[in-house]
Structure 1
């Protein structure tokens, strides 16, 4: 028995040949193709903190090393730390009567102080000696990395090396294709020098890069190793006072070995990303800019455009016998859809498309870090093996459009057709047969493939003088998991 909430029984074949459930696929309304996570480009739109929902631009997030300055994670269990308030009583000043005068007691009002606490493991910032702060957010002491200067020097050195190699590559290409009347970059045509192009692009000059390379001091290997303490092998080990590997790797700058040296971890920033089709460069998903919003401006998921197939029930698959299979077919679109079940060998041959590359000469000439290499989309044949064959009926099925109000209607229309068992709103149940050859061995995984030929109405408004049509006939192949082959 297969349950409707398990999508792994049905996997769709992407245009690149990957097998994915329908919840992990996208549908491009411009290419009219199914795309998976390997067929799309991921772009970061904004950075934000998932705890305080603070939004910040990419430049600021880069300066803060992609961490929030006011939210922290527990260094022991990695849960989010909470700020707790406490009343601190100031010291009382008492004047000695022997020094002259009467005894005086100076009292002050209690002051509210704040510290960090974990509600999961009860770790607090007081455990490692961090003083309480007078403000709830910000102001927490930050530890400085003792090797920060060396790390920055290494970063500057490798950046200068990479920039120098790119400049040498550009010079070689310019000399190779230097033909009179033809220009490789905009700098050749306008007469801009390399220094002016780097200044416009915001890149460091060649003098600064050469100075960074010349002033770099390489590291020297040393044969002297710090000796272990004398009681290293005899001292009793207390595992409660030693940090684990995840706790050490969470702070790669210090890697504390004892629990008493654990410090709060600045919370990592989350990102909102948009996804583009690699072929036509159109957006498939586009989230809202507000971090507190969970809506999407563009959300082209395959779940909303491709007919969904689910397994209702099935009989055990036996070699040399036929078994019954009940499938549920749903139309997620707002238009009536016609569906026909075909065999995978009846599919038309895949088309090989190559998109037009967009040349950005200005960006290529001024931005040396930009790579405008084109992407060639080739529909590869999927790699899968089937043991059974689903008998496809030679009829065309009509599935009604999606109606949200009809979801609460419990009345299902029962047909007398041998194929359709019942209809309800935009869903219908099909009776199919699975034929398994006798030469299939028992105990092997049973699977079957079937192709869906369905009509799709494109709601994208066509451009002027465009040859795009509204109604299209599309194909998709699904792989059905039928469990294992029974030898009885």
Structure 2
């Protein structure tokens, strides 16, 4: 007997065909479907620093290049740098007294701060960065020598993107223009976009784009590059003074070649993201806005809505023979659940009906390609790997009842053992089943032993439409059981 505790030995089949453990799946309570990471849209809610927990809006994070201004990482080992304090005696020039003797004026030592790494003992003093009088902020920032050229390239590409967008809008306006009707107010009054911006006092974006395109100077490739030093092949190399490739790529603006040119790296910001169902656009997970909070406003994980299947133990699988299999079923919901085991070929075929499409919906769908659910799900089904099944689990033709979840019953050690041929024991919302695994005679020894099993379970939707009672639904899911390898 082999005891398995890892969750990856039981995988659920997502609605798009992907195989995922239940801990990596979501459940949409609006369309009643299981969703994986490929079936949802990811949205960034807020940016924050994981070290100082400073929260900032997206516009500010974009200006700061998604980096914190007061936290730094070590450029040598990439650990978080700490601020250390030290006392520095200010140096004052000697002053001559009335008798002609030099008189030194003593002042109180001043507290200064520098950055230090507790992991590799790197400090900002090693590279000649002067100590700062304040603990946070005020650290000198290196300027990129190619910043002017990079800004010119950014303006040029922004102008090209704006020009292409304007041409696309003009084509769409001509395509959907109807005689006697006006799509926008400017079509009716004859007011152009430039005149509208002049009246509103907005900057001339088209004029700025035209000037950026006209004043752009393309780059010229040089035939001759920088010459190498004469002693490049004869000079002894000291690896302690040369930076490694990760250290250079951590600073792509400068890419320092010597260790003495390393500078503290501003810490990258972390994000809190919410996940939305692609089919119905409802939130599946939404975190709290506070960066220090680990709770979620909405947390629709499949672990809390779909019955969990675990493998307790199984016998060695041999070709053409039967072996015992013990499964544990758990009801995670707060309502009683009716469950029945089935074969995948016995599941009812649900036909997906498409809504009538209008011109507005088709146009919106063409502009938002990422929300095209049907084509995206068909692509996921095509890319989903088809597992090779060499075993079969005969499903018992009887319904099972799982009690609702009770947190107080988790501390009860008494399990009710049944004398049934199928049910091994019951405990609170858990149920152990005794099943058989039938292996195909053509299964080759050493090949993966996988079996599939479908579940039909009842689910009570606690988020119905307004002014309606909770509804009970009959849902289906399919699991893939990994039983090791086929023995010879």
* TM-score w.r.t. length of structure 2: 0.92
Q: Whole-Å Cα distance in 1 between the matches of residues 66 and 189 of structure 2? A: 39
**Greater alpha carbon shift after TM alignment, 344-353 vs 378-387:** 378-387
Farther off after superposition, 2-11 or 119-128: 2-11
Distance in 2 between residues matched to 1:354 and 1:19, nearest whole Å: 26
> For 1:120 and 1:160, how far apart are their aligned partners in 2?
47
User: Where do residues 229-240 of structure 1 align in structure 2 (5 Å cutoff)?
Assistant: 229-240=229-240
* C-alpha separation in 1, matches of 2:285 and 2:63: 28
**1:427 to 1:10, Cα distance in 2 relative to 1, 3 A:** same
- Give the distance between the partners of 1:426 and 1:319, measured in 2 at CA: 35
State how 1:54-453 maps to structure 2 within 5 Å. 54-91=54-91, 93-95=93-95, 100-181=99-180, 188=187, 193-195=192-194, 205-354=205-354, 371=368, 374-377=371-374, 383-453=386-456
Seen in structure 2, the aligned counterparts of structure 1 residues 180 and 36 have a Cα distance that, compared at 3 Å, is same
- Tell me, in whole angstroms, the C-alpha distance in 2 between the residues paired with 1:227 and 1:287: 55
Could you give the per-residue CA deviations for residues 226-285 of structure 1, whole angstroms, max 9, x where no partner exists?
A: 110011001111111111111111100000111111100000001111111111111101
Give, in angstroms, the shift of residue 350 of structure 1.
4.0
What is the SS of the residue equivalent to 1:145?
coil
Residue ranges of structure 1 left out of the alignment (5+ in a row): 365-369
Deviations 1:164-209 (CA, angstroms, capped at 9, x unpaired): 1111122122223332145556754676633477798989621111
Extract unaligned runs of 5+ from structure 2. Answer: none
Conserved in 1, the CA contact under 8 Å of 2:462 and 2:470?
no
Corresponding residue of 1:367: none
Indicate how the Cα distance of structure 1 residues 440 and 191 shifts in structure 2: closer, same or farther if over 3 A, else same.
Answer: farther
Contact preservation (8 Å) 1:337, 1:455 = yes
Matches within 5 A, 1:14-25: 14-25=14-25
Q: Aligned to 2:486, what secondary structure does the other structure show?
A: strand
1-structure distance, mates of 2:128, 2:472:
69
The offset of 1:305, in angstroms, is 0.3
**1 CA distance for matches of 2:433 and 2:416?**
13
How many residues are matched?
A: 478
> 1:475 corresponds to which residue?
476
Contact (CA 8 Å) 2:464, 2:470: kept in 1 or not?
no
Asked whether the equivalents of residues 133 and 139 of structure 1 are also in contact (C-alpha less than 8 Å), the reply is yes
Cα distance between partner residues in 2 of 1:174 and 1:432: 65
* Cα distance between partner residues in 1 of 2:301 and 2:356: 25
Local SS of the residue matching 1:318: coil
Normalised by the size of structure 1, how large is the TM-score?
0.92
